[in-house]
Amino acid sequence: MNFKFQHFVLLLFCVLLSCTSDDYAPIDYTSEEEPEEIEEPIGIQEPIKYLALGDSYTIGQGVEESERWPNQLIVELETNDFTVENSEIIAQTGWRTSNLINAIDNSNPQDFNLVSLLIGVNNQFNNQNFDVFISEFNELLQKSISIAGNSGRVFVVSIPDYGVTPFGNSWGNPEQIASELDAYNNYMMQRCAELNIPFINITEISRDLGDSEGALASDNLHPSGAQYTLWVEEILPVVLELITD
């Protein structure tokens, strides 16, 4: 073996010794980093189209439009990031169930996906046969369901107790008024339970407040805007659950 060849072999040997095992590690062509998780976009809530059906309590007799409980509810829904695209109230002071049925038939409301119903106080006030209320309330409930369409978003609000007001005390027996209104509310609660429709009891709020300062409108009969705010505090959680199911 000549000198040049020996020198080449020696040089090659040194080069091999200087290489570590890491130098010969196989190349991994796959990324060692975990792929980034892509966040699912939060679904855009369907805009609310709200129809409120009722009587003087729904139209807000004696208070400003903004103080009506349906209007206050709309503000709270928007505060909770819901878009209220459309709203309408079909209600009038003095209406019984039959008046509301006729008004719905005449106006033929459509394209709503949230419907509330509060009715019956004038049936009781006018001493109408309770069986008439049962029949017509059931009809109104079915109309409400039909108006709400596929959304199924219907809720019923109980009748407040006007017997605790100065007007109620002067007009009749507060205990009798309370007992009769309980019968109305108990029937509505039972019927709603059968149909899996939320029934929201605000009657106890009206009784707790009575005729205390700030509880009533200037007519000493209907709730004030402040009392309606307490109603909405009771109504809102139920409605939020209803529209997010």
* Residue 209 buriedness (CB in 10 A; 0-12 / 13-18 / 19+): buried
**pLDDT of 180 above 80:** yes
Q: pLDDT per residue over 27-68, tens digit each? A: 443 444 444 544 433 334 789 999 999 999 999 999 999 999
Q: pTM, whole model, 2 decimals?
A: 0.82
CA angle, 152 then 138 then 150, to 5°? 15
Sequence-ordered list of residues with C-beta below 8 angstroms from that of 46, at least 6 positions apart, any chain: 113
Joined together, the tokens standing for residue 113 give 């996906």
Specify the CATH number for 48-244; select among 1.10.3720.10, 3.10.110.10, 1.20.1260.10, 3.40.50.1110: 3.40.50.1110
Percent of the chain predicted with pLDDT > 70: 82
Across residues 144-156, what is the average pLDDT? Answer: 95
The pLDDT of residue 151 is: 84
